[in-house]
Amino acid sequence: MAQTPGTDVAEIAEEIFRLSTFVPDLGPTGFTFNQFLIRAEQPLLFHTGPRAMFPLVSSALAGLIEISDLRWITFGHLESDECGAMNSFLAAAPHAEVAHGAMGCMVSLNDLADRPPRPLADGEVLDLGGRRVRHIDTPHVPHGWDARVLFEETTGTLLCGDLFASMGNGPALSTSDPVAPADEAESMFHATCLTPATAPTIRALAGLNPVTLAVMHGSSFTGDCAGALQALADCYAARHSDAVVG
């Protein structure tokens, strides 16, 4: 994969930073791979990037915190872009723990992670000291049995992973409609599991009333996040019903 020389850093909510690496030759208009740092007494990273991106991501992170101070390594689900560099970060940060849903720990991480992971129950909160993240199980949404999101309660930031994934290299934080570009990317990639639970799971996230959506691929969004989640759920409800009817 060709990469631009660096990883861009932007603060998308107070003390929440987006690290973004654009890969121009992926798809028609390129694709971003984003990680998020919550800078608190116990710094938390959401997504590690793939192993090959560790030099880029870790050097961008080192501009924000001492890597050795990293306390929590988290991600949406088991895939290389979400967690490929997990063990590289465990090696670089001796006090860091991987924190993931109990199911994902049992199925994969107890074996894959170089140190034992910290399993989280649905709804469990990690108090980072200045920021609080709630773990929410979203099995198979957008994909993966172990899938989950994190909700940072102090700033109202939903770390929603691959939800709202879109092509191109837009601004770090946008107020433009995130639903149409996400629906277009879904038509291209077909990355999301279409099950009867897909739309209801996304609608439940709207109930959190987020202020900001931290998006793994594409621009993060601030604005009517609950409305955007409902509209995204409508798209998946329509796709599911088309699939069932045939």
Interface residues with Fe ion (CB under 5 A) are 79, 81, 162, 216
* Backbone CA torsion sign across 129, 135, 141, 144: positive
Name the minimum Å distance from CB 30 to Fe ion: 15
Cβ closer to Fe ion: 81 or 146? Answer: 81
Cβ closer to Fe ion: 88 or 166? Answer: 166
Cβ closer to Fe ion: 138 or 155? Answer: 138
Name the minimum Å distance from CB 166 to Fe ion: 12
Which residues of the chain form beta strands (DSSP E)? 8-13, 16-23, 31-38, 44-46, 72-74, 97-101, 118-120, 125-127, 132-137, 148-152, 157-161, 173-174, 212-215, 220-222
Of the chain, the end-to-end C-alpha distance in Å amounts to 36
Name the minimum Å distance from CB 246 to Fe ion: 27
Cβ closer to Fe ion: 39 or 148? Answer: 148
The Cα 10–Cα 219 span in angstroms is 11
